[in-house]
Structure 1
């Protein structure tokens, strides 16, 4: 019920004597793609845009309100929309944060509500919209997180500030308990990885490809073709724990273990529980002024039913960016795969692929930013045969983004 109570509570607080600070973003897109049917249209393409996509569209529209409740308590809510949302406007995040004044070297924070887990160096965890800043698309890891993962619960974090103990680095820990996210893993199994910046809203409904396995005469007829990724199905809370290290402005390391603890035999309203677990590690290194190297890696597994669908998944990427005057040039390489080991050979879910993105970002005046991205994705997925698509696909797109932030 947290996700229903929070927006109302935040709205009531905002109408009192607490002045809200508003921030927003509007991203206008133009592009061309040779890709087959996108995953947003029930296909198994890896990109957001395909040959049927409009030449002009709204990539992202985000509005965030933040305000102080007390000296040590703040709150916020973020709404979003684009031309493909199931609801015209949906909630992306809503939270309260308690940050007590530190008494020593340790700085603590408690965050409660509905928000993204701290799993990305490509995307500013505290930034507006949870969208990438160096490229237009997100890497496969962050594309999946944006669609299927959200913390609907409480997160505790603490950081030991090195300057208080004469240490050259800061060290931090994080732990969270959450509900929802029981269907997480559905998209990885039956659609696979994607390379996109599509962020799901709280009430999102995502449609899978028309695969035989969940048709009325299929092996899993209780599974709906429409996925609601943030549902709570079995009443069991999930958790994640992690640690991080920061050495000055030049080096950041982090690791996280995630387990939604879903019951894979539970099913409700056409949605199964998927027991999804993963390990995640990230690196951000700034070896010289103007240079930045980022990397993330994820390895995990997911299970649905009595071994009806079971697979391991892996992905990693490396990104290098270089500031050239006011502009930034970025190059990112992705690899991703899934490997199944279940009892339904007629439901193939193996895939492997890689992607390359080259992006150019130029800040303009008064909050405007112009970006260009060339994206290439090559992938193999045998399940495409079942819906009349070629197993092997090579997708190319060229995108331009004009983004305004205030």
Structure 2
């Protein structure tokens, strides 16, 4: 059952205006989401529980608060704003509550030529996702995110500065908008570790800023193995090498029709560093995506990502060296109080190193089918089926099947407030 709760409250406070025009109003807005789910998974132990299951739940029936999201935003003047997002989970595996985003933003008024600057600083996601556009980074289309966005939610976040230059077509009597974004960031040195050691997953859980993520106990991490210095948990938001990474994104929007974007991400890591069991990973990838309106009111969203991730010892010997890719196509149709969404995906990890007893190879496909019904303006119920068919040799370390079809059925009640 899907229940979406959105509550918004606006309060106005006075602050001094430096231009001596009296006072300027400050607007405060609070919004959130409560997502309660019941479901059943035909799977193995979840990656959240140190296993190699693809879902955020273990095998069997489950009842959980899958997301308790809260977003507080303040706006003062025409340009300045801030946003803090917290998320909480009660899922029986990793219960928790914490911050997932904290951003200060300056977005000025467009010039006469339609040029506008948008600058953001803080704990943020790189500007990649086309799927997670609802309150507290939820997806309005499906309960479980795509494998791409599940990975972003798990370990591809950072503290950084994002600057976007926009050219707005309406100032040029054009339907076409263009933008270019450059992001500089830190606190992302272990990005790629979880993609290597448990592969692509399909979940709706965002790692909280204070959390660490359990790593599957593979033979290479036992005493005497090549990875025995690795801590039992990975810290996705740590800074070890004091180097700045970057992400660039170009976007074209055809108003009332759709948008296309392409970008490149490089965390610029020094892989010769390991501290307190945390290795530095060099992770680089390119990505493209499109969101388009098709005939008959059908929305198309598609993204593809391809890259590499490398972890070495302090002498520079490659211990984990992987290529990876993932792509999805999502079709969604909304009518009256109904929405039907279908998503298909293909993903892979290719292990290029020679480290014994640490096979990261993976190949798989997934299917997601979701039906949503709107009970009231802020309240939805949603039924969803997920299937992930994958081959992962590392499951043999846990005496699990190398080839595995995992399935999940969910009913959610989401309520936005």
Q: What TM-score, normalized to structure 2? A: 0.90
> Does the Cα contact within 8 Å between 2:27 and 2:76 map onto a contact in 1?
no
Q: CA deviation at 1:289?
A: 5.0
> Does the Cα contact within 8 Å between 1:35 and 1:50 map onto a contact in 2?
yes
CA distance in 1, matches of 2:273, 2:148: 26
Residue of structure 1 equivalent to 2:322: 311
CA distance in 2, matches of 1:143, 1:73: 30
Q: Tell me if 1:385 matches 2:393.
A: no
Which runs of 5 or more structure 2 residues have no equivalent in the other structure?
1-12, 16-24
Please give the per-residue CA displacement for 1:185-217, whole angstroms capped at 9, x wherever unaligned: 001111100011111111111101111212232
Q: Tell me if 1:108 matches 2:117.
A: yes
Q: Tell me if 1:21 matches 2:21.
A: no
Residue of structure 2 equivalent to 1:123: 132
> Does the Cα contact within 8 Å between 1:139 and 1:195 map onto a contact in 2?
yes
CA distance in 2, matches of 1:31, 1:351: 26
Residue of structure 1 equivalent to 2:156: 149
Q: 1:186 to 1:15 in 2, by over 3 A?
A: farther
Residue of structure 2 equivalent to 1:400: 411
> What is the SS of the residue equivalent to 2:211?
coil
Residue of structure 1 equivalent to 2:8: none
> Does the Cα contact within 8 Å between 2:250 and 2:263 map onto a contact in 1?
yes
Alignment coverage as a number of residue pairs: 391
Residue of structure 1 equivalent to 2:107: 99
Which runs of 5 or more structure 1 residues have no equivalent in the other structure?
1-13
Residue of structure 2 equivalent to 1:248: 255
Residue of structure 2 equivalent to 1:225: 232
> What is the SS of the residue equivalent to 1:364?
strand
Deviates more, 1:35-44 or 1:282-291: 282-291
CA distance in 2, matches of 1:193, 1:257: 20
Please give the per-residue CA displacement for 1:256-302, whole angstroms capped at 9, x wherever unaligned: 10000111111112111100000000011102352111100000000
Q: CA deviation at 1:330?
A: 0.5
CA distance in 2, matches of 1:349, 1:377: 17
Residue of structure 2 equivalent to 1:169: 176
Q: Tell me if 1:350 matches 2:395.
A: no
Q: CA deviation at 1:129?
A: 1.5
Q: Tell me if 1:76 matches 2:83.
A: yes
Q: What TM-score, normalized to structure 1? A: 0.93
> What is the SS of the residue equivalent to 2:295?
coil
> What is the SS of the residue equivalent to 1:146?
helix
Residue of structure 2 equivalent to 1:265: 272
Residue of structure 2 equivalent to 1:333: 344
2:198 to 178, 181, 191: 191
> Does the Cα contact within 8 Å between 1:87 and 1:203 map onto a contact in 2?
no
Q: CA deviation at 1:88?
A: 2.8
- Root-mean-square deviation over aligned CA pairs: 1.8
CA distance in 2, matches of 1:335, 1:266: 33
> Does the Cα contact within 8 Å between 2:287 and 2:306 map onto a contact in 1?
yes
CA distance in 2, matches of 1:213, 1:92: 32
Q: CA deviation at 1:86?
A: 5.1
Q: CA deviation at 1:334?
A: 0.7
Residue of structure 1 equivalent to 2:331: 320
Residue of structure 2 equivalent to 1:9: none
Residue of structure 1 equivalent to 2:20: none
Q: 1:41 to 1:53 in 2, by over 3 A?
A: farther
> What is the SS of the residue equivalent to 1:89?
strand
Q: Which runs of 4+ in 1 moved over 4 A?
A: 14-19, 84-87
CA distance in 2, matches of 1:15, 1:123: 34
Q: CA deviation at 1:250?
A: 1.2
> Does the Cα contact within 8 Å between 1:69 and 1:75 map onto a contact in 2?
no
